[in-house]
Amino acid sequence: MIFGSKRVKPLKVQHMSDIEALKREERPILIDFWQQGCQPCRTMDGIVTELAEEFGETAHVVKIDVGRVPEAVGEFAIKSTPTFVVLGRSAKLSKKKRQRGEEPPKGMTQRWRGTGLIRKDALARVLEANGATRKS
| Catalytic position from the list 19, 30, 41, 72 | 41
41 given a catalytic annotation: yes
Q: Which of 114, 120, 119, 126 is nearest to 80 (CA)?
A: 114
Q: In what order do the strands lie in the sheet with 60-65?
A: 11-12, 60-65, 29-34, 83-89, 108-115
Cα 124 from Cα 120, distance rounded (Å): 6
Determine the number of helices (DSSP H) and then strands (DSSP E) in the chain. Answer: 5, 5
| Catalytic position from the list 11, 16, 38, 73 | 38
Residues with a known catalytic role: 38, 41
